[in-house]
Every structure is written in C-alpha cells, then in structure tokens.
Amino acid sequence: MPVKSPVRRLSLGKIAAPLLALLLAPAALPAGEAAALHRFEIGQHEFLLDGKPLQIRCGEVHAPRVPPEYWRHRLRLVKAMGLNTVCAYLFWNLHEPRPGEFNWAGAADAALFCRIAQEEGLWVILRPGPYACAEWEMGGLPWWLLKHDDIRLRTRDPRFLEATRRYLNEVGRVLAPLQVSRGGPILMVQVENEYGFFGKDPEYMGELRAALLGAGFEVPLFACNPKDHLKDGYRADLFPVVNFGSDPRGAFAALREILPTGPLMCGEFYPGWFDTWGAPHHLGNTERYLTDLGAMLKMGASFSIYMAHGGTTFGFGTGADRPFKPDTSSYDYDAPISEAGWTTPKFDLTRALMAKHLLPGETLPEPPPRNPVIAIAPVAAAEWAPVFANLPTAVTAAEPRTLEQLDQAHGCVLYRTTVPAGPEATLAVAAVHDVGQVFLDGRRIGFMDRRSGAYRVVLPARAQAATLDLLVEAMGRVNFGVEVHDRKGLHGPVTLAPAGQPATQLEGWRMCRLPLDSDMLAGLRYDAAPTQAVPAGQPAFWRTTVTLAQPADCFLDLRPWGKGYVWVNGHNLGRYWNIGPQQTMYVPGPWLKAGDNEIVILDLLGPKRPVVAALDRPILDELRPALDFARTKRREAKLRSDFGAPAHAGSFAAGSTLQTVRLDRPVRGRFFCLEALEAHDGKPFAAIAELTLLGADGEPLSTEGWTVAHVDSEERGVADGTAENAIDGQTANFWHSEWGAAQPAFPHRLILDLGATRTVGGLRYTPRQGADDVTGRIKSYRVFIADDLVLP
C-alpha cells in the first residue's frame, strides 16, 4: 500500500497537526514520499509491488457520486474497512460535456480524488472507459455522439474512435502523472468495461489499448468481464479479471481457462445491487457475501467490492437498465458504507473479516465519526413557476425532433401542435423516450410511458381546433447493451386516428426546450404559490426558503411530491419519483448553509402538498405502486387460446451455467414465449437471470424495442422478481415467479414482444445465479414463436 505520510506512526495527539496540514493541502505529499516511484507488475502467481506480493483488497467509489467535501471522509472509511485500494470509474460525459470542452473541476476533479486516496494510504485502480456502465447516464458515453444519426458506439466506427482517442489523451494528460511508476497511487488501468457483454472484436479493444498507451499509461492495462463472456473480445495483451456476485470458485475456474497462470482477480464483487424506480429496494445476501469474500481472501485472490460506497447519483447522472428501467438517484447499493457515509453492520462484518487477513504489521485505522445529521420541520413552498408560463421561444419543424437534434443534453421538451376539431380519436407516437404527458388546451388527458411501451392516448371529441402538448421528460440514457444508442424525446411519426378512420400524421411542431440547467432556473418567473388547492396536473417549479441555524446532512422528504428534480442552493440533487422505492434524497451538509437556503423542486406531475421537509434518516424501500401512472397494472394481454405446436421442447441442465439452444430450424414471429413446465428442485417456481435470443446465424438479436408482453407470475412484492430482469442484460438479477403472497403452479410463461417479426434460430438461457439451492432453475420447457401469440 502507498506509504501513508509518516505521521501515522506517531501518537494520536501529534498526528492531528500534520494531518490537518495534509487535509488542507491535499496535493502536497510529505517530502520523500510523493516521489517514491513504485513498480507494479502482474507476477506468475500474484500481483507484485516492488517485487513483493500484493493482494489487492479493493472497493469501488465513484467520485462524482460523493460531494467532494466528503471524499476524504469516505476514503478513510474504505481504509478502515480493511481495504488497501480504491477503484474508480471516470465518466466521459462528465469530463467532456461538449466536444473538446474538458471538465476536471469540482466533482470531476479525478486527480484530486486520487491524491486524497494516496494520502489516506490507498492505491487506485482507474477505469477511464470510454464506456463504464455503472447505472450512469449512457454508461458514461457523451450524448453528443448521438448527433451522428448512424454512429455505432463501442465499435471501430471511425467517429467513435476519433472522439475516444481525444478523450483518452486528455485523461492521460491529467492522470498519467499519478501512476505508481511516477510517484502516484494508480496501480493499473482498465480498458473499456465488460466489452464481452456487447461485442467480440479484439481489434476494437486493441485500438483502445493503443490509445491508452499513447496517452502515457505505462502501468498494466486490464479488461473485466462476467465469466460467460471472458473469451469475447479477448486479447492476450490485456490482463483479464472476472466480475461476479457469487460462486468465486466457478468464476475463477472460468478465468483460468484464459489465464492459466497469474493472479486471480474479481473486478466487481457485488455486496448489494442498484435500484430502479417502481421495483423493490435491493438488499444483498450478507451471509453469502461474507462467505465468498472470506473464500477469496483465503485463496489469496484479489477483488474489488462493487460498491464499497455507492453514494448518490446527483444531477442528470442516472442511467437506465434495459429494456428501460430508469435507475433511482440514490446509489446506496446496500453497500457496506451507506449513501450518507454511515458504517453499517455489513461494514463492521467486512472490517472484522479483513482484520483476519492483514499483512504483518498492517493495522486498521478507526473509522472516522459519522457526519452530523439533522431533520428539518415542514416549510410550505412560498412561490411557484408553472412550466407553461415559462416557455422559451419554440423551435419549429414539420416533424418532432429528438433532444439530440435540438442540441439538448438533458431535461424535457414540450412538443406543441394543433389538432383539428373532430370526434374522439387515438393519438399514437412511434416512441416516447421516456415519459410523456399529453395535454389538450392545457388540461392533462393522459400519459405515455416507455417502460411499458404505452404510446397511445385517446383524445376526446373537440368542437374546435385545440392545442395538443406532449411534455416529454428524458430520464437518463440507457447505460447497457445496444440500447445506449438512446436518443431522447418524441419519436415520430405522430398520428391521429378517429375510430374506424385512417390515421393522419400530425405535423407543424413547435418545440420548447427545457434543459433544466442553471440558466433556465435563473430565468424562471415566480409568483406566490397557490394557497388553496394545488392545481392538478400542472407541471411547475416550486421555490422555498429554509432557514437553518446549524446546517448538516439530512434527507429531503419527497413523499408529498410527484416526480421531478430538486435543487438545493443551486446544487442539482437529481431525480425523485413518488412510486419509490426511494422516497428521500440525501442532502450533503456542506451544500447547506447557516441562514437562508433556497430549495427549488420541479414537480412534473403536481404535488399532493407543496411542503419541504427533511428527515434525519433515509427512506429507500417504500414502494407506492398505486401512484404509478403507467405500471400499476401490467397491460392485460389477450393470448391466443391455443399456441399450437411448440417451435422447440427440451430440458435445461441443472446448475448456474449459461446454456445455448439451437432450434431445429429458424422460426419467424413477433412474439417469443418460453413456457417452463417444471423446476430442477421440484418446487413451483421458475426464474431466469438472462434470456438472449439468437438469429438464424446464431448471433444474439438486438433487444432494442423489446418489451414483456405477458408473464403469468412475477414476484414484485417481497423482492424484485420483475419479468424485465430476464432481458436487462444483468445476470445478477432475475425474473422469478411469485413466492411471497402466492405460489402459483407451473406452467409459467414469459412472453416477449420483439417489437416486430424477427427470425429466431436459438436462445441462451442463463439460470438464476448463486448457490445450488436457489429456487427457480428451469428443467423441462417449451418454446413458442409466432406473430399472434398475443392478440391485438
């Protein structure tokens, strides 16, 4: 481990002064220490630092997810937990918000984060991308790449590579000087992220490797992948590590297939998981986490706990899981160190476990104390600024334009046009990314929702021409799979069809950009807030002044509000949504001040009570499905009465290994049904971690536009066994038939709507991961593929 400043060996009293100096002058390492150049290598059996074995005990922390004022506090917790290294992604879209404009300030000051880590006695593993994933907006990729209509991200598309090289060069300029070989803490650097999940092109990885070498990185370069994709895109000149949440022996055995000798490392080991809006809060299996961690420590393997401290995805940082499951702004992740930097029982258990595996002479520092926390009594919002009264000049065009085409990164767009007088008619759009509210002459009449592919609203009869508004909110670009090509806004054509009449296309759009940036907020015109009833369905900004004697951390209580964003003294805290599971937003104490604090809440739906209050504890596990305007009910699908002969029938092997099945002959259809008939454990449950469909050529089909058309049973109460988990690309979560309130018997059917007729030549079934006794591992099953399994 980087030798922490020599002050460590002195008694506590004497530590204070020099430590304070260190705190205040983070960059200045004590003389003789900073220049200590180190050699980090991949040895025959273990990592070597200056020729001596080093077991990397690492934990992941994302600097932009922690207020910079608290970086040192969190890194001290990581150290006190028994770790000797911190792993950090860089999010390209944070560091290059516009082409060629770089940002390394504030939350983006990655160099400062690394230096503080070094001062706190931690090595650093750097993961610069270009793609990261991480439940971060577009996986870290910059939205402006999507201005090229046909760009192919994460490939050797010359436009992608050119932008990537420029970015990685800049990363090298700023961070290469912090490599261990130059006196800094950076041990090794990751190339891309889980590329095997996305592609198989080793030349692409080669281009990135060359770019990083060209940018000045001389420490080892490595690549991470889940065990089933270690060979995809593999290159012998990139050290491989394997990511997994359970079964270290199985994962390391898979790693040994491509790495016969050399240190074993788990690049991401999950103590918990992330949350998405509308699905139950995730809690990790602590017992299994400790058992597997203990096993890795014993076998001398290296590992990185993902996440050691999740923090908060402030601002517009949240991404979405595919097909479209928007991530919550809390990234607590049920990590050992909680969102607000509190130690947890999992922290204490991890620390105790690590204490048994320290090097001779190595000691664990005490964890720093918890930061003070306060509650804030309710304060009524004093002012409001309705969105419709604060519209900017519109951009006009025949067809609706996406945010990218409107040169807008985040926020909302109001799409306005005129509809003629006429009878009741169905308004239909090709797609809304991501949530649309439909207004007729200013009155909200319906919602459009990407999560369930609900893109139709019935307009009532109109005696005269009316103003049609679609207020479309972008909820963070998908961060995984081909779906990262996620252009936001309204996707035309937009049509109107009176019952029994042909549809006509609506044109002549006026588009008001609502980027929700500081310029927009500064330009809002506020009036006194309504004291009587809050006008329903009125999207508006609400402003409140909260006076504090002693500012400290707190958790804003958003339960009286609907859906939107919060700003505290100009800091964008991120997104909230009353469907949960997250109901509070963490407010870092340093962002509050003694005296008056300005709180601005944009509520796109309209609050129950426009009242601002804060709690001294978070609420991250309160689902309120009844408030979900689109997902309360999974649309009842009318199924064909008889599915006829199956396209395939078979039996899956027991265990957790991915299984590929080729159909006797390719079959065409829009709907794909997997019908599970029994499970290996004889219990009435079916589960799928991941289901991939293959084309006639045996290659995975793109999941773009897929939705779950029907599922007979899914656990959505006691845990997140939602059907979409089977097609989100993540093997750590899974669809599971109900087991809480009821335990329906077999058969269990999962029917996917592929969005269009596709040719299916096979499938890949990833069983529920975990120990041998997990439920839901499917034995016999049948497959049906047709255009009419689900009737219109």
Q: Which residues are catalytic?
A: 194, 268
What 3-state DSSP class applies to 214?
helix
Per CB under 6 A, the segment of 130-138, 468-476, 558-566, 620-628 that binds ligand GLA is 130-138
**Which span (129-137, 154-162, 246-254, 617-625) binds ligand GLA, by CB under 6 A?**
129-137
Nearer to ligand GLA, 132 or 790 (CB): 132
Distance CA 265, CA 458 (A): 55
Q: φ and ψ at 197, to 5 degrees?
A: -70, -20
Closest contact distance (angstroms) between CB of 60 and ligand GLA is 9
Query: How many Å apart are CA 192 and CA 205, to the nearest integer?
Result: 7
- Compute the least distance from the CB of residue 405 to ligand GLA, in Å: 28
Distance CA 66, CA 69 (A): 8
Give the per-residue contact string, 376-405, with ligand GLA (x = CB under 6 A; - = no).
------------------------------
CB 340 within 8 A of CB 504: no
Tell the burial category of 235 from Cβ atoms under 10 Å away from its Cβ (0-12, 13-18, 19+): middle
Q: Are 114 and 124 in contact (CB under 8 A)?
A: yes
| Selected range binding ligand GLA among 80-88, 126-134, 574-582, 607-615, rule: CB under 6 A | 126-134
268 vs 292 by CB, closer to ligand GLA:
268
Structure tokens given for 40: 């980090």
The distance of closest approach from Cβ of residue 656 to ligand GLA in the complex, given in angstroms and rounded to an integer, is 16
CB of 462 to ligand GLA, least distance (A): 47
Stretch that binds ligand GLA, among 38-46, 132-140, 157-165, 459-467 (CB under 6 A): 132-140
Q: Shortest distance, CB of residue 140 to ligand GLA, whole angstroms?
A: 9
HSE-CB for 325 with a 13 A CA cutoff? 27
Rounded Cα–Cα distance for residues 309 and 329 (Å): 14
3-class state of residue 249 by DSSP: helix
Site membership for ligand GLA, residue 243 (CB under 6 A): yes
Q: How far is the CB of 7 from ligand GLA (least distance, A)?
A: 36
Does position 339 interact with ligand GLA (CB under 6 A)? The reply is: no
End-to-end alpha carbon distance in the chain: 63
Nearer to ligand GLA by Cβ, of 265 and 639: the residue is 265
Q: Which stretch binds ligand GLA (CB under 6 A): 133-141, 365-373, 557-565, 658-666?
A: 133-141
Residue type (1 letter), 731: T
Q: Which stretch binds ligand GLA (CB under 6 A): 131-139, 158-166, 645-653, 670-678?
A: 131-139
The sheet with strand 40-42 has its strands ordered as: 40-42, 47-49, 52-54
Shortest Cβ distance from residue 132 to ligand GLA (Å)?
6
CB of 194 to ligand GLA, least distance (A): 5
**CB nearer to ligand GLA: pick between 269 and 685:** 269
Distance of CA 174 to CAs 90, 179, 193, Å? 12, 11, 21
By CB under 6 A, is residue 733 in contact with ligand GLA? no
Does residue 310 come out as left (phi exceeding 0), alpha (psi in the -120 to 50 range) or beta?
alpha
Q: Give yes or no for a cis peptide into 296 (omega within 30° of 0).
A: no
Alpha carbon distance 525, 536 (integer Å): 20
Residue placing its CB nearer to ligand GLA in the complex, 194 or 738: 194
CB of 62 to ligand GLA, least distance (A): 10
Dist CA 784 CA 639 (whole Å): 12
| Total binding residues toward ligand GLA, as defined by CB under 6 A | 9
Among residues 230 and 613, whose Cβ is nearest to ligand GLA? 230
Of 457, 503, 443, 450, the C-alpha closest to 472 is 450
Stretch that binds ligand GLA, among 128-136, 346-354, 559-567, 783-791 (CB under 6 A): 128-136
Does residue number 118 form part of the binding site for ligand GLA (CB under 6 A)? no
Task: Decide: is 738 part of the binding site for ligand GLA (CB under 6 A).
Answer: no
3-state secondary structure of 672: strand
Which of helix, strand or coil describes residue 750? strand
> On the CB side of 541, how many CA atoms lie within 13 Å of its CA?
24
Min separation Cβ 480 and ligand GLA, Å: 7
One residue of 78, 90, 116, 133 binding ligand GLA per CB under 6 A = 133
The encoded tokens of residue 515 equal 């980027």
Between 274 and 672, CB nearer to ligand GLA:
274
Alpha-carbon distances of 636 from 503, 722, 790, 791, rounded to whole Å: 25, 16, 10, 11
Instruction: Using CB under 6 A, pick the residue from 1, 94, 134, 171 that binds ligand GLA.
Output: 134
Residue 274 interacts with ligand GLA (CB under 6 A): yes or no: yes
Tell me the C-alpha distance between 720 and 737, whole Å.
10
194 binds ligand GLA (CB under 6 A): yes
Return the exposure string of 753-778: e unless at least 16 CB atoms fall within 10 Å of the residue's CB, then b.
bbbeebebbbbebbbbbbeeebbbbb
Instruction: Give the DSSP letter of residue 101.
Output: B
Q: How far is the CB of 733 from ligand GLA (least distance, A)?
A: 9
- Closest CB 606 distance from ligand GLA, rounded Å: 33
Cβ pair 715, 736 in contact under 8 A:
yes
Instruction: State which residue, 46 or 192, has the beta carbon closest to ligand GLA.
Output: 192
Query: Nearer to ligand GLA by C-beta: 271 or 411?
Result: 271
Q: Which residue, 134 or 472, has its beta carbon nearer to ligand GLA?
A: 134
By Cβ distance, which residue is nearest to ligand GLA? Answer: 133
268 touches ligand GLA by CB under 6 A:
yes
Q: Is 746 helix (H, G, I), strand (E, B) or coil?
A: coil
Which of 96, 109, 120, 135 touches ligand GLA (CB under 6 A)? 135
Count CA atoms closer than 13 A to 743's CA, side-chain side.
Answer: 7
Q: Output DSSP code: residue 474.
A: -
The site map against ligand GLA for 147-186 (x = CB under 6 A) is: ----------------------------------------
| Residues paired with 597 in a beta bridge | 546
Q: Which of 93, 164, 193, 707 binds ligand GLA (CB under 6 A)?
A: 193
Could you say whether residue 343 binds ligand GLA (CB under 6 A)? no
Nearer to ligand GLA, 285 or 545 (CB): 285
Count Cβ atoms below 10 Å from residue 233 Cβ, excluding itself. 24
Sole window of 127-135, 284-292, 518-526, 577-585 interacting with ligand GLA (rule: CB under 6 A): 127-135
List residues bridging with 489 in a β-sheet: 402, 433
In the complex, the residues that contact ligand GLA under the rule CB under 6 A are: 132-135, 193-194, 243, 268, 274
